[in-house]
A and B are shown apart, each in its own frame.
Chain A
Amino acid sequence: MLAYFARRILVLIPTLLGISIIVFLMLRITPGDPAELLLGERATEEALQEIREHLGLNEPLHVQYGMFLKRLMKGDLGETIWSRQKVWIEVKERFPATIELSVTALFISCFFGIIFGIISATRQYSIFDYLSMLGALIGVSMPIFWLGLVFMLIFSLHLGWLPLSGRLSVGIDLEVITNFYILDSVLTKNWTALKDALWHIIMPAVTLSTIPMAIVARMTRSAMLEVLRQDYIKTAKAKGLSQFIVTFKHALRNALIPVVTTIGLQFGVALGGAILTETIFAWPGVGKWMFDAVMKRDYMVIQGGTLFIAALFVVINLVVDMLYAVINPRITVQ
């Protein structure tokens, strides 16, 4: 198992290098002068010269990449063009919000997706099965930015049940420790803040969970169907075990193995979708920050944010693969 883990971690290195090369090249192969692209058309000649010097834009490409990589190793993602702050500091401020939103969304999608998948599989071709699979197909076809707006219109503007946007209402005090508001409010036993934070996260998280939920439900259903056909399930039933035990103890364990991999991939869907969801709900995370940067053409932010999110996604997939190996030891034997 350890050898397998070591091999997987080693494979991570070329992937991360590849990501850094793509992000590095994007600025350089875009038509036009990279310095001007970074600073805008109205930048002074001195400023342009300064940034060329700083990023080594006059050097050959491989030297530039060397400089880029060296900075990256030190955790230096450069400075934002607009606020003149370290990109890394801005990422650190915002990523807890994104993680909080995506993890909540994934939690919702796994919970409901797996339950719906199980019921559909145990009652194959029933009305419930048809309806939930039709629902799942609608789910994967959903333009989530539109769904978010529909939710907003119904649940906050018409019914007034849920707050329109943001992470916390004005006037709610919360001592920030980790920047994960739900966690912080539990840690400081601030129940008003906890309720407020939960109320704020419901709509964006449900919006973001739509597509992963549908995919998880379909995956769970087909994995369960496959497992339920196997002989050991027949044996278990023949032994006189109850349907419940057979489904949840015997079948589900094996059926969940492929589902876990899917969930890892869904994190990528959620991180990509976070740009849309955060923009709609004014959720102050990495996604909205990157969208604002795209609008302001702050390429240092785009570059840093892309690197961060892609690296995060790769690491999460690695963790999922390792989890996969733990629950399914067969995979480590090649």
Chain B
Amino acid sequence: MKRGNPRKSPEDRHPLLDQLSQLWRNKTAVAGLIIVAGFVFAAFLAPVLSPHDPVETSLYDQLKPPVWADGGAKKNILGTDDLGRDILSRIIYGARVSLIVAVVSVGLAFVLGTLLGSFSGYYKGSLDNVIMRIMDIILAFPYLLLAIVVVAYLGPSLQNAMMAIGITYVPRFARIVRGSVLEECEKDYVMAARAVGARDWRIIFIAILPNCLGPLIVQTTLSFASAILDAAALSFLGLGAQPPTPEWGAMIARSRALILRASWVMTFPGIAILLAVLGFNLLGDGLRDALDPRLRD
């Protein structure tokens, strides 16, 4: 299928791409991108990268210190925990768990929030009122509390933690999408689409939403950061990942009893969380500067 498609003129490029190309000039964003890339790389290639099985216990290798400390060995670079499991391998596999949690919970919030927000902004009136009041009520709960309570009712598991985090993040997406849709609805192209008789869902999803992508991308990136943090907190409290899942928050919880004897068991998973969250925050900040200057705080 050949269509006359001569060299694309610069005007044909999506404006989003132009804005994204500015991202390269932002040093913090590039730093964030590198960290995030490393994190995703570790998550995908965990079986290749990790030197040991993350859940395999080894009676003879309990609480081995990291390689640079006295008694450390090359076999376990970051040492082992109280069951002799290799900490480096558990951290690499932990990236996988965190990435899945972030993708699923933010994905859930993204889909629900975008749907609710666009209906709210497009149909306005009482539907808008009802949806936004419900969002306000969800926001009336302190951030982590609602997630903890939802998991308390559903029962502790990683799945329920993802669901709880997803639910608490719906309002942020709904609000942003609603605001953008309200703004876009005033523009001529929406009226033109209506005039040619396009259906509502087509106007919303094909015509309007692509123009609201900027703020959505920013919010998604920043939500990845907080989802990783919240999931680790839930797992730390014993409400998320259950043993022997290699999850960073759960690893820290387990290390509490060993805090004096083996501080490395606690140190490295914390640094892993901090780095992963920092990466997404840096990237999100950079994206915000590039895509949506209005949102700068």
Chain A interface residues (CB < 8 Å from chain B): 14-15, 18-19, 22, 26-27, 30, 137-138, 140-143, 145-147, 149-150, 152-153, 157, 218-219, 222, 268-269, 271-273, 275-276, 279, 290-291, 293-295, 297, 299, 302, 306, 309-310, 313-314
Q: Do residues B137 and A15 form an inter-chain contact, with CB atoms below 8 A?
A: yes
Q: Is the interface of A mostly helix, strand, loop or mixed?
A: helix
Report yes or no: B263 in contact with A153, Cβ–Cβ below 8 A: yes
**A10→B40 CA distance, assembly (Å):** 48
The answer, yes or no, to whether B161 is at the interface (CB within 8 Å) is no
User: Measured between alpha carbons, how far is A143 from B236 in the docked complex, in Å?
Assistant: 10
Smallest CB gap from B138: residue in A? A22
In the complex, what distance in Å separates the CA atom of A146 from the CA atom of B141? 24
Question: Residue B163 at the A interface, CB < 8 A?
Answer: no
Q: Are A30 and B153 touching (Cβ within 8 A)?
A: yes
Q: Do B141 and A19 touch across chains, with their CB atoms under 8 A apart?
A: yes
Chain B residues, CB < 8 A from A295 = 238
- Interface bits B222-248 vs A (CB < 8 Å: 1, else 0): 000100010011001111000000000
Q: For residue B38, give the distance in angstroms from its CB to the closest CB of chain A.
A: 15
Residues of A within 8 A of B269 (CB): 146
Interface residues on B, range: 35 or more
Closest 7 CB pairs of A and B: A146-B270, A272-B144, A18-B137, A272-B142, A141-B277, A268-B142, A141-B278
How far, in angstroms, from A218 to B281 measured CA to CA in the complex?
A: 13
Name which residue of chain A comes closest to B267, CB basis: A150
> Are A152's CB and B259's CB within 8 A?
yes
* Cβ contact within 8 Å between B274 and A143: yes
A269 close to B143 (CB less than 8 A): yes
What chain A residues lie within 8 Å of B259 (beta carbons)? 149, 152-153, 157
Once A137-B281, A294-B239 are accepted as A-B contacts, the answer to whether A143 and B140 lie under 8 Å apart by CB is no
B261, chain A: closest CB distance, angstroms: 11
CA distance A156 to B152 in the complex (A): 32
Residues from chain A with a CB closer than 8 A to the CB of B152 are 293-294, 297, 299, 302
- Between A and B, 26 residue pairs with Cβ closer than 8 Å are A18-B137, A19-B137, A22-B137, A26-B149, A137-B28, A137-B278, A141-B281, A142-B274, A143-B232, A145-B249, A149-B259, A150-B267, A153-B259, A219-B297, A272-B143, A273-B144, A275-B145, A276-B233, A290-B148, A294-B148, A294-B152, A295-B238, A299-B153, A302-B152, A310-B140, A313-B142
Q: How far is the CB of A39 from chain B (nearest CB, A)?
A: 15
Q: Which of A146, A275, A293, A297 contacts B266 (CB 8 A)?
A: A146
Q: Which residues of B contact A299 (CB under 8 A)?
A: 152-153
Q: Are A149 and B274 in contact (CB under 8 A)?
A: no
Q: How many whole Å from B133's CB to the nearest CB in chain A? A: 7
Binary interface encoding of chain B residues 253-297 relative to chain A, with 1 for a CB under 8 A from any of its CBs, else 0 = 001100110010011011001100110011001000000000011
Q: Is the pair B148, A30 in contact by a Cβ cutoff of 8 Å?
A: no
Q: CB-nearest residue of chain A relative to B252?
A: A146
Which residues of B are in contact with A by a Cβ distance under 8 Å?
28, 133-134, 136-138, 140-145, 148-154, 225, 229, 232-233, 236-239, 249, 252, 255-256, 259-260, 263, 266-267, 269-270, 273-274, 277-278, 281-282, 285, 296-297
Contact A145-B233, Cβ < 8 Å, known A30-B154, A294-B152: yes
C-alpha gap A153/B270 in the complex (Å): 14
**Most B CB atoms within 10 A — which of A26, A219, A269?**
A26
**Given that A138-B278, A141-B274, A143-B273 are known contacts, is A218 also in contact with B141, CB under 8 Å in the complex?**
no
A282 CA to B141 CA, complexed, in Å: 23
Contact of A18 with B281 in the complex, beta carbons under 8 Å:
no
Q: Would you call A291 and B137 a contact (CB within 8 A)?
A: no
Asked whether B233 lies within 8 Å of A306 as measured between CB atoms, the reply is: no
Say whether chain B's binding surface is mostly helix, strand, loop, or mixed: helix
Chain A: minimal CB distance from B273 (Å): 5
Q: Which of A15, A146, A306, A313 has most chain B Cβ within 10 Å?
A: A146
- Shortest C-beta distance, A56 to chain B (Å), equals 19
Contacts of A18 in B (CB 8 A): 133-134, 136-137, 140
Q: Which one of B138, B149, B270 contacts A306 once the chains associate, using CB atoms below 8 Å?
A: B149
* Cα of A230 to Cα of B294 in the assembled complex, Å: 18
User: What residues of chain B lie closer than 8 Å to A302, measured between beta carbons?
Assistant: 149, 152-153
Contacts of A141 in B (CB 8 A): 225, 229, 274, 277-278, 281
Q: Which of A15, A222, A275 contacts B144 (CB 8 A)?
A: A275
With a cutoff of 8 Å between Cβ atoms, the chain B residues found around residue A143 in the complex are 229, 232-233, 236, 249, 252, 270, 273-274, 277
Closest residue of chain B to A142 (Cβ to Cβ) is B274
Q: Evaluate contact between B141 and A313: CB separation under 8 angstroms.
A: yes
In the complex, which residues of chain A have a beta carbon less than 8 angstroms from the beta carbon of B238? 295
User: Given the complex of chains A and B, what is the CA–CA distance between A309 and B144 in angstroms?
Assistant: 12
Taking a contact as CB atoms under 8 Å apart, the answer to whether A140 and B281 are in contact is yes
* A154 nearest CB across to chain B (Å): 10
User: Which residues on B sit within 8 Å (CB–CB) of A218?
Assistant: 297
**B256 cross-chain contacts in A, Cβ below 8 A:** 149
Q: Nearest Cβ in chain B — how far from A112, in angstroms?
A: 18
CA distance A269 to B232 in the complex (A): 16
| Cross-interface CB contact of A26 among B153, B274, B281, cutoff 8 Å | B153
CB-based contact B140/A19 at 8 Å: yes
Closest beta carbon of chain A to B216's beta carbon, Å: 20
Contact between B270 and A150 (Cβ–Cβ < 8 Å)? yes
Cross-chain contact B142 with A309 (CB below 8 angstroms): yes
